[in-house]
């Protein structure tokens, strides 16, 4: 597997990181299910009961946002819901847990001249707040490409990847995405970008493999070692 990862990252000129998962556990202290329940209560208050079908079940706040966008014509309500989700994500950053090895991986990859960008369904405001606290913002020369109020552009739509590639002036064939969901994989495939799956536990690894990911790691430590070795030999 190490050799497969080495082959995957060799010659990579741009790396696109998903945020929640590969960079941190955003909802480590402020759970996604709690956020989803809060958003459902917000919808009841601002849109009235019945906005969401009682049979619809998910603990994913992004899935809730997609569902409202799919089923409800009131753009003001959808934009208000997106803004409320952004506020919750900003709250969550104070308790977010860094993914092991990722800070050094980001710093090392950036130092080698590889262009980095964030491609995420989270709010770019939350990403910037987190990266600033970790003193990592300067490493992302390609910027942060996150959620907008055009909810239909959330991954698996490749919109944020296209924006990142344009910012980095990088060819898809020379880029790599690191993600932890099937939506990340689908977006990478749609953009023509190579994909490295990160599954922090067996359940997440299995989900990625079942979605068709060819290469999945359970730690970014070996990736850091390979990037470090490559830099030392340059």
- Written as six digits, the tokens of 132 are 């600033």
Rounded to two decimals, what is the model's pTM? 0.95
| 74 plus 161 within the same structural domain | no
> Are the C-beta atoms of residues 156 and 183 closer than 8 Å to each other?
yes
Confidence label for 19 from pLDDT (cuts 50, 70 and 90): very high
Whether the predicted pLDDT of 234 surpasses 80: no
Digit-coded pLDDT (tens) for 45-58: 998 877 888 888 89
pLDDT attached to residue 73: 85
Digit-coded pLDDT (tens) for 151-192: 999 999 999 999 999 999 999 999 999 999 999 999 999 999
Domain boundary at 76, 94, 112, which? Answer: 94
61-71 vs 32-47: helix crossing angle, rounded to 10: 30
Domain boundary at 78, 94, 110, which? Answer: 94
| 158 plus 60 within the same structural domain | no
| 224 plus 125 within the same structural domain | yes
pLDDT attached to residue 233: 78
> Are the C-beta atoms of residues 34 and 91 closer than 8 Å to each other?
no
| 151 plus 71 within the same structural domain | no
Domain count, the chain: 2
Domain boundary at 72, 94, 116, which? Answer: 94
User: Where in the sequence is the domain holding 126, given as residue range(s)?
Assistant: 2-26+97-233
| 134 plus 184 within the same structural domain | yes
pLDDT attached to residue 120: 98
Whether the predicted pLDDT of 125 surpasses 80: yes
| 36 plus 107 within the same structural domain | no
CA distance 182 to 22: 14
| 173 plus 72 within the same structural domain | no
Whether the predicted pLDDT of 13 surpasses 90: yes
DSSP string, 85-132: HHHHHHHHGGG-EEPTTHHHHHHHHHHTT-EEEEE-SS-HHHHHHHHH
Mean pLDDT (the chain) is 95
Digit-coded pLDDT (tens) for 184-210: 999 999 999 999 999 999 999 999 999
| 196 plus 116 within the same structural domain | yes
| 78 plus 109 within the same structural domain | no
Q: Which CATH number covers residue 197?
A: 3.40.50.1000
pLDDT attached to residue 220: 98
> Are the C-beta atoms of residues 5 and 215 closer than 8 Å to each other?
yes
């Amino acid at each position: 597997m190490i050799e497969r990862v080495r082959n995957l990252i060799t010659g990579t000129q741009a790396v696109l990181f998903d945020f929640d998962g590969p960079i941190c556990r955003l909802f480590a202290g402020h759970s996604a299910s709690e956020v989803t329940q809060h958003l459902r209560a917000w919808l009841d208050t601002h849109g009235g009961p019945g906005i969401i079908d009682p049979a619809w079940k998910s603990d994913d706040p992004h899935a809730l946002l997609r569902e409202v966008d799919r089923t409800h014509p009131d753009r003001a309500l959808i934009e208000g819901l997106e803004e409320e989700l952004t506020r919750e994500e900003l709250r969550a950053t104070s308790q977010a847990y860094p993914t092991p090895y990722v800070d050094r991986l980001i710093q090392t990859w950036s130092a080698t001249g590889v262009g980095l960008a964030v491609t995420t369904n989270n709010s770019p405001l939350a990403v910037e707040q987190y990266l600033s606290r970790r003193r990592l913002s300067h490493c992302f020369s390609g910027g942060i490409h996150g959620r907008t109020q055009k909810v239909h552009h959330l991954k698996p739509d490749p919109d944020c990847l296209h924006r990142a590639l344009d910012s980095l002036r990088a060819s898809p064939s020379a880029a790599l995405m690191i993600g932890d969901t099937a939506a990340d994989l689908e977006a990478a495939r749609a953009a023509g970008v190579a994909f490295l799956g990160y599954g922090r536990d067996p359940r997440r690894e299995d989900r990625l493999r079942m979605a068709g990911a060819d290469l999945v790691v359970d730690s970014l430590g070996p990736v850091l070692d390979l990037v470090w070795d490559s830099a030392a030999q340059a």
